[in-house]
């Protein structure tokens, strides 16, 4: 028994007729097809809505916890990522780099770019990431800019920077700045 061909909502074309053993089997196949079309359409709508949801959730106004060391770049059109620049400096000669970046929530990955070098960060928990570079030289009282890119699930709120450590030394710490802000506001009261 041949059933009438169905219209595929996703690609908008008429498919081949079903080959069904009975009228009931044909109706079941047709209903399954409609359910699959609805699921595919819902997936497309969810993908299209994700960027606007992420933009509407306040992610576009990321504020640096330490503007002298790290600044967020203006938000681009790509959902699920943000970038920024970290100013790395030291009062002693550095011949290798271990840059630790701690976020306040889960991220999919962190990448660092320094001149022509790009490094992927490793992580055990997807909150704290470490970038190693053994061929790195930073003279005392000089600084270099490292671009950082954080990728996250666009359905979630963007993770914010919490701490940056350069070779174990804390160079940016949102927690201590928050404590300073709380102490100053308590002193003002």
Task: Pick the closest to residue 17 from 30, 2, 1, 36 (CA basis).
Answer: 2
Q: Same structural domain for residues 28 and 107?
A: no
Q: Same structural domain for residues 163 and 110?
A: yes
Q: Same structural domain for residues 91 and 175?
A: yes
Domain membership of residue 139 as a residue range? 60-179
Chain segment 83-142, per-residue pLDDT in tens: 999 999 999 999 999 999 999 999 999 988 887 777 778 999 999 999 998 888 899 989
Helices in the chain by DSSP H: which ranges? 23-56, 174-188
Query: Which range, 26-35, 61-70, 85-94, 106-115, is most confident?
Result: 85-94
Mean pLDDT of the chain: 73
Could you tell me the two tokens for 82?
């943000």
Q: Same structural domain for residues 44 and 68?
A: no
Domain presence at residue 188? no
pLDDT band at residue 15, thresholds of 50, 70 and 90? very low
Could you tell me the two tokens for 37?
């079309």
pTM score above 0.85: no
Domain presence at residue 90? yes
Could you tell me the two tokens for 79?
């959902």
In sequence order, which residues have a C-beta less than 8 Å from that of residue 83 and are 6 or more positions away? 72, 73, 76, 147, 148, 149, 150
Domain count, the chain: 2
Domain presence at residue 117? yes
Domain presence at residue 99? yes
- 19 or 133, greater pLDDT: 133
Helices in 57-126 by DSSP H: which ranges? none
């Amino acid at each position: 028994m041949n059933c009438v061909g169905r219209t595929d909502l996703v690609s908008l074309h008429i498919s081949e007729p079903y080959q069904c053993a009975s009228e009931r089997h044909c109706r079941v196949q047709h209903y399954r097809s409609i359910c699959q079309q609805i699921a595919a359409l819902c997936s497309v709508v969810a993908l299209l809505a994700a960027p606007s949801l992420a933009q509407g959730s306040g992610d576009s106004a990321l504020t640096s916890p330490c503007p002298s060391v790290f600044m967020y770049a203006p938000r681009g059109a790509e959902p699920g990522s943000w970038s920024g620049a970290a100013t790395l400096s030291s009062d002693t000669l550095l011949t290798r780099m271990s840059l630790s970046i701690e976020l306040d929530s889960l991220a999919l990955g962190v990448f660092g770019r320094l001149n022509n070098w790009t490094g992927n960060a490793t992580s055990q928990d997807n909150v704290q990431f470490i970038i190693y570079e053994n061929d790195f030289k930073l003279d005392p009282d000089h600084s270099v800019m490292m671009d950082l890119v954080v990728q996250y699930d666009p359905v979630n709120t963007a993770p914010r920077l919490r701490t940056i450590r350069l070779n174990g030394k804390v160079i940016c710490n949102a927690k201590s700045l928050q404590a300073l802000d709380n102490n100053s506001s308590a002193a003002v009261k």
